[in-house]
Amino acid sequence: MASSNSLMDNLFQRSLEDLIKGLRLQLLGESFFISKSLEEIRREIKSTDLSTKSIALQKLSYLAALHGVDMSWAAFHAVEVVSSSRFSDKRIGYHAITQSFNDQTPVLLLITNQLRKDLNSSNEYEVSLALECLSRIGTDDLARDLTSEVFTLLGSSKVLVRKKAIGVVLRVFDKYPDAVKVCFKRLVENLESSDPQILSAVVGVFCELTTKEPRSYLPLAPEFYKILVDSRNNWDLIKVLKIFAKLALVEPRLAKKVADPICELMRRTVGKSLLFECIRTVVSSLSDQETALKLAVAKIREFLVDDDRNLKYLGLHALSIAAPKHLWAVLENKEAVVKALSDEDPNVKLEALHLLMSMVNEDNVSEISRILMNYALKSDPFFCNEIIASILLACSRNSYEIIVDFDWYLSLLGEMARIPHCQRGQEIGHQLIDIGTRVKDARLELVRVSRALLIDPALLGNQFLHPILSAASWASGEYVEFSKTPYEIAEALLQPRTSLLAPSVRAIYIHSTFKVLVFSLAVYFSAQEPISSPLVEESTSSGSSPVNGITHKSISSLVNMIEIGLCSLSGTLDVEVQERAKNVLGFIGMIKHKIAEKVTTQESETEASRAVAFMEDVFSEELGPVTSTAQEKVPLPDGLELKESLEDLQEFCGEFLKPVVDSNSNSNSFSSSENISFSVAKLRISDQKEASSSSSHPPESASLLAEHRKRHGLYYLSSQKNDDHNDNNGDNNNTLNEYPPANEISVDSFNTKKKMNQSKQRPVVVQLDEGDGLKTKPDASNNDEPLSRAIQTALMGKGKEKEREKDNHERDLDSRIKGRSSGREKKTKKKNGEKSSKHRSRRRSDKESSAAEPVEIPDFLL
């Protein structure tokens, strides 16, 4: 019965072709057809007849490859099919296995013997199926178990088999480094093969091996050199060039040696692929070879002016490889690069943009930015934003290293905001604030640019610009003393279209309005009684645009405008907006009638002026940039256990809450504290305390803050306030002088010195000591992989191996022991093998054992 079923299956089974035809007929419901076919396949694949089974498996492979059907469940059936004696079944089986197996496939263990059998088959096409399979799914175990078969095949007389055996070596070495001991010599011998197919295969393998760990293959340089000089096959030459590109980086003498043949190739070849590889090799690895480099750059120019977009793109690509070391190559081709910006091809455009950015320096930054901004205006949105992003990135690098004229840069940022496609609001806004905090001299311009942005109601409609507007509003409030027209700014901040802003941005708008209001009031009060507020006097005298024209009339209209503008917001749903609006309104309510009184009374120290002076104090603290490593700089105080569990915190807190309340006079409490919970609780509570006390006693606020700093100096970063910096606040009162900003500020004196002799002096840019950029740890070289060690052992004597081991400090002890023992093993093996090996390799090893050179380069270089 079963056999008749199977016969029926066999007769009426859909072939793969039927399945494909069926699929093509399904205009709709393809997935239904697939699931129906899958049912069929599931039934057929269980058949006892191997050919039925294999056709089912083939259909499944097809569906898996092109329709994303899972076939991992059929792994066992694939193993069954592969064991068939019929070639077509076997092929289907191997195809299924390579397609669906991975390291975790449980039935993987079952194919080792089948693979061995097929690798030993007399039919070269069966061998080649097995080799293909091994090269795709070879695991550590498979590689180990089949190494000897691969070794045999490496010497096969059949070219088809031998080249695939060479190909599989890559996978075998990768999974089972000890295979190097067995196979490496035969692999190297193939480098001298006269058969072009074999040579291609082995050069390809060495190219891959060299990419992973160049140093190990230096001893083979003579063989590669021979191919470089003799070969006429572009495929091989490209691979050999890639090998030399890697080798020349670890052995500079090689660069000199190969420069001539590469130049020769560049002059001779007609193949663009080979020519490009020569160029790439020269610009990336032979950049000290003057003649080669000149020739390569000349060839690049030919690529750049070629009509073929591929060549143009690759020419730009080659230039960008050359750019870091040889900027002249880019500068020479500047016109071509700029022209490429308007190319239709997005790749070409992007590559040209990167190149342009690589040649930006302080002299040409404004010219290049001008060109780019023009392109940004007429480009598609994607490229436009790429341009904006690259300008922003290049200009802000190393704390705006290349910017000399910050006024120009700020107005550029302002222009960017007005480019219709601009979506980089976040970065632009960030830079506006960053420059504001870092570059004191640029603040006047910043306020001007911000004003222009704020008063334009059109910008409020574009939500990508909201971060810019947020930054502009903050700057206008923070640096309001530079503004000629505070009234106008307040008006802009309160314009009706601000309802389009997100609540968080709106809150900043309101807060800035508050700052503008306080500033105007302070000026108003101080104008009439100069003695009362030194702070305001300072700011009016230092600010480059003294606002003296604030009259009673203008101040009351300002107050009225703000009051009306904010009234509607006091009922907003968003609490942040609501609270800020209410704060301002509350302040206005307190101060409003005093303004009128001010004209009549002659009392010098009114409540109103005290309140205003206090608010002025609140906003007077200068904000500086904060380094990303600020937290790390705080030394860990004694007794502070950061890693301790805080489970019992509750208990401690309850205990210490009480004493803190009356510890106001105990200024030394922190240093006497004994454990973390105590100090944390105390800090927080005393902070609160200070906040509340300062609000009740306004004039004391500054001194209280100073005291806080004295007590908890640890949490403030050490400040080295530069004289240059204090010039502007030269007549600060004492309180302020002993209370420098919390953020650490040091002035980049190096940069200013460097640029002294320029026509326009670069303003001081505040730089943080370190850590402005993210620190990147240099990658520890990972050349102690088992594979490279094995290869070094295979190529060198034991002594060299020892040296290398010394070099690799990071190697752990365990693997070192392993490495030595394997080295020893190798040595004994090698002694036997060497006698029979060609005189060339003996000469090499002889030379190595005698030479004291740290790098193992055979004599052909010297």
Partner 1 sequence: MIKAVMMLNTQGKPRLAKFYDYMPVEKQQELIRGVFSVLCSRPENVSNFLEIDSLFGPDSRLVYKHYATLYFVLVFDGSENELAMLDLIQVLVETLDKCFSNVCELDIVFNYSKMHAVLDEIVFGGQVLETSSAEVMKAVEEISKLEAASNSISLVPKSVSGWRGR
Question: Which stretch in 308-316, 600-608, 631-639, 805-813 sits in contact with partner 1 by CB under 8 A?
Answer: 308-316
**Does 132 engage in binding with partner 1 (CB under 8 A)?**
yes
CB of 125 to partner 1, least distance (A): 6
Query: Beta-carbon neighbour count of residue 333 at 10 Å?
Result: 23
Residue 803 near residue 662 (C-beta atoms within 8 A)? no
CB of 202 to partner 1, least distance (A): 11
Instruction: Report 702-731 residues binding partner 1 (CB under 8 A).
Output: none
CB of 197 to partner 1, least distance (A): 7
Q: How far apart are CA 159 and CA 165, in angstroms?
A: 10
CB of 211 to partner 1, least distance (A): 5
Distances from the Cα of 539 to the Cα of 470, 489, 545, 547, 739, angstroms: 24, 18, 10, 10, 18
Q: How far apart are CA 153 and CA 170, in angstroms?
A: 14
CB of 235 to partner 1, least distance (A): 6
Residue 348 near residue 309 (C-beta atoms within 8 A)? yes
Q: Reduce the DSSP state of residue 359 to 3 states and report it.
A: coil
Residue 790 near residue 178 (C-beta atoms within 8 A)? yes
Closer residue to partner 1 (CB): 385 or 679: 385
Question: Which stretch in 87-95, 150-158, 178-186, 690-698 sits in contact with partner 1 by CB under 8 A?
Answer: 87-95
Closer residue to partner 1 (CB): 211 or 499: 211
Helix residue spans in 359-404 (DSSP H): 365-378, 381-400
Closer residue to partner 1 (CB): 68 or 461: 68
Contact residue for partner 1 among 83, 193, 234, 358 (CB under 8 A): 234
Contact residue for partner 1 among 17, 662, 674, 814 (CB under 8 A): 17
Contact residue for partner 1 among 22, 42, 125, 339 (CB under 8 A): 125
**Does 64 engage in binding with partner 1 (CB under 8 A)?**
yes
- The DSSP H or E segment spanning 88 is helix 87-100
Contact residue for partner 1 among 45, 78, 82, 205 (CB under 8 A): 205
Contact residue for partner 1 among 107, 160, 452, 585 (CB under 8 A): 160
Q: How far apart are CA 292 and CA 759, in angstroms?
A: 39
Closer residue to partner 1 (CB): 274 or 395: 274
Contact residue for partner 1 among 91, 215, 438, 451 (CB under 8 A): 91
Closer residue to partner 1 (CB): 185 or 242: 242
**Does 37 engage in binding with partner 1 (CB under 8 A)?**
no
Structure tokens at 695: 């609000």
**Does 35 engage in binding with partner 1 (CB under 8 A)?**
no
Contact residue for partner 1 among 53, 163, 711, 789 (CB under 8 A): 163
**Does 107 engage in binding with partner 1 (CB under 8 A)?**
no
> DSSP code of 758?
S
Closer residue to partner 1 (CB): 277 or 784: 277
**Does 312 engage in binding with partner 1 (CB under 8 A)?**
yes
Instruction: Give the type of residue at 67.
Output: H
Q: How far apart are CA 155 and CA 163, in angstroms?
A: 10
Question: Which stretch in 194-202, 358-366, 444-452, 723-731 sits in contact with partner 1 by CB under 8 A?
Answer: 194-202
Contact residue for partner 1 among 347, 358, 426, 693 (CB under 8 A): 347
CB of 468 to partner 1, least distance (A): 28
CB of 257 to partner 1, least distance (A): 22
Question: Which stretch in 143-151, 233-241, 491-499, 570-578 sits in contact with partner 1 by CB under 8 A?
Answer: 233-241
Crossing angle of helices 309-322/290-305, nearest 10°?
150
Instruction: Give the type of residue at 589.
Output: G
Tell me how far apart the terminal alpha carbons of the chain are, to the nearest angstrom.
81
CB of 141 to partner 1, least distance (A): 16
Closer residue to partner 1 (CB): 203 or 588: 203
**Does 206 engage in binding with partner 1 (CB under 8 A)?**
no
Instruction: Give the type of residue at 784.
Output: D
Closer residue to partner 1 (CB): 125 or 408: 125
Closer residue to partner 1 (CB): 196 or 741: 196
- The DSSP H or E segment spanning 766 is strand 766-767
**Does 201 engage in binding with partner 1 (CB under 8 A)?**
yes
The alpha carbon of residue 838 and the mean position of all alpha carbons in its chain are separated, in whole angstroms, by: 49
- The DSSP H or E segment spanning 747 is strand 746-747
CB of 160 to partner 1, least distance (A): 6
Instruction: Tell me phi and psi for residue 326, to 5 degrees.
Output: -130, 75
Residue 244 near residue 264 (C-beta atoms within 8 A)? no
C-alpha triplet 842, 848, 850: angle, nearest 5°:
105
Closer residue to partner 1 (CB): 234 or 556: 234
**What is the DSSP code string of 631-682?**
HHHSPPPTT--TTS--TTHHHHHHHHHHHHHT-SS-TTHHHH--SHHHHHHH
Question: Which stretch in 178-186, 202-210, 438-446, 701-709 sits in contact with partner 1 by CB under 8 A?
Answer: 202-210
Contact residue for partner 1 among 9, 80, 89, 848 (CB under 8 A): 89
Query: Beta-carbon neighbour count of residue 9 at 10 Å?
Result: 21
**Does 141 engage in binding with partner 1 (CB under 8 A)?**
no
Of residues 723, 608, 782, the one with CA closest to residue 213: 782
CB of 258 to partner 1, least distance (A): 17
Q: How far apart are CA 614 and CA 623, in angstroms?
A: 18
Question: Which stretch in 96-104, 644-652, 673-681, 808-816 sits in contact with partner 1 by CB under 8 A?
Answer: 96-104
Q: How far apart are CA 675 and CA 654, in angstroms?
A: 14
C-alpha triplet 284, 289, 295: angle, nearest 5°:
80
Q: How far apart are CA 237 and CA 258, in angstroms?
A: 12
CB of 24 to partner 1, least distance (A): 8
Instruction: Report 254-293 residues binding partner 1 (CB under 8 A).
Output: 272-273, 276-277
Q: How far apart are CA 524 and CA 532, in angstroms?
A: 12
CB of 289 to partner 1, least distance (A): 21
**Does 68 engage in binding with partner 1 (CB under 8 A)?**
yes
Contact residue for partner 1 among 81, 170, 356, 584 (CB under 8 A): 170
**Does 683 engage in binding with partner 1 (CB under 8 A)?**
no
CB of 781 to partner 1, least distance (A): 18
**Does 136 engage in binding with partner 1 (CB under 8 A)?**
yes
Closer residue to partner 1 (CB): 131 or 569: 131
Q: How far apart are CA 307 and CA 310, in angstroms?
A: 9
Contact residue for partner 1 among 79, 168, 254, 263 (CB under 8 A): 168
Query: Beta-carbon neighbour count of residue 383 at 10 Å?
Result: 18
Q: How far apart are CA 217 and CA 228, in angstroms?
A: 16
How many residues line the site for partner 1 (CB under 8 A)?
A: 65
Residue 516 near residue 588 (C-beta atoms within 8 A)? no
Contact residue for partner 1 among 26, 35, 197, 688 (CB under 8 A): 197
Number of H helices, E strands in the chain: 45, 2
Of residues 80, 38, 43, the one with CA closest to residue 62: 38
Query: Beta-carbon neighbour count of residue 415 at 10 Å?
Result: 15
CB of 133 to partner 1, least distance (A): 9
The residues of the shown chain that bind partner 1, judged by CB under 8 A, are 16-17, 20, 24, 51, 58, 62, 64-66, 68-71, 85-89, 91-92, 95, 101-103, 123, 125, 131-132, 135-137, 160, 163-164, 167-168, 170-171, 197, 200-201, 204-205, 207-208, 211, 234-235, 238, 242, 272-273, 276-277, 309-310, 312-314, 344-348
